[in-house]
Amino acid sequence: MDFFDVVAARHSFRDFADRSVEREVLERAIAAAVAAPSAMNSQPWRFHVCTGATRQRVGEIVAQATSYLAEYMDVLGPDRYEDAVRWYSSLGDAPVLVVVSAPVPNVPAEALNIYLSVGAAIENMLLALTAQGLGTCNITFATYVKDELGAAVGIPEGREVVAIVAVGYPSDVPPSAPVHETDVTDWLG
C-alpha cells in the first residue's frame, strides 16, 4: 500500500473482529515505532503488549475510567456520552492492548520532548498496523487510572502510562471518518 493511502486509511476503530493478532504483525509495528525520531535519540517509549488475562485486566481497569466521563458531558453531549461509556467499557473487544509508558518528566521542557517523541512512535505504530490490515484506536483518556494500569503491567517507578493502543482486525462495522480541517497552514514567504 502506498504511504499516502496508508495515512488516508488510518482511522480510529472502535469495533474489532473476534480474531487474534499474530505476534509477527505486532513485532513489525513495534519495529516501526522504535524507528521514530526522539529528542536527542532518547527513545523514551516502552510498549507493554497485553493479550489474554493481562489484556482482560487492563480492560477492566480502563472500564473504571467511565466514572470520569460525567466531567465531559458538556463536551460529549448526551448522544456521545452513551457511546463513550460503551467504548471504554469494552474497548471494542480489541484482542490486544498496547500500554505505552514513558519516563515521568522532571521539568516542562523535558515533558515536551518526551511526549512529542512518544507521540511520533505511536503514530509510526498506528500506520504500520494499518498497512498490515489492522485497526487501531489510540486512547489517552485512561490516564485517570494510570497508576492502576502501571501496576497491572509492571511499569517501574519513574515511568508513567501515557496512552493505550487498542489493536485488532476490524469488524464489519466501519469506523466513522471524522472531517479533517483543511485550513491549517499559513504559507509565509
Q: What is the DSSP string of 88-151?
A: HHHGGG-SEEEEEEEEPPSSHHHHHHHHHHHHHHHHHHHHHHHHTT-EEEEE-GGGGGHHHHHH
pLDDT at 68: 67
Residues 6 or more apart from 58 whose CB is under 8 A from it? Answer: 50, 97, 99, 149, 152, 153, 164
Residue spans of the chain under pLDDT 70:
67-78, 142, 176-177
Nearest C-alpha neighbor of 165 from the set 69, 24, 21, 37: 21
pTM of the complete model:
0.91
CATH for the 3-168 domain, from 3.40.109.10, 3.30.1050.10, 3.80.30.20, 1.10.10.60: 3.40.109.10
| Cell numbers for 38 | 526522539
Query: How confident is the model over 161-171, as pLDDT tens digits?
Result: 999 999 999 99
pLDDT at 20: 96
For residue 98, the cross-strand partners are 49, 165
Sheet holding 159-168, edge to edge: 46-50, 96-103, 159-168, 135-139
| Cα 130 from chain centre | 13
Q: Where are the domains of the chain?
A: 3-168
pLDDT at 75: 65
Query: How confident is the model over 83-124, as pLDDT tens digits?
Result: 777 777 889 999 999 999 999 999 988 999 999 999 999 999
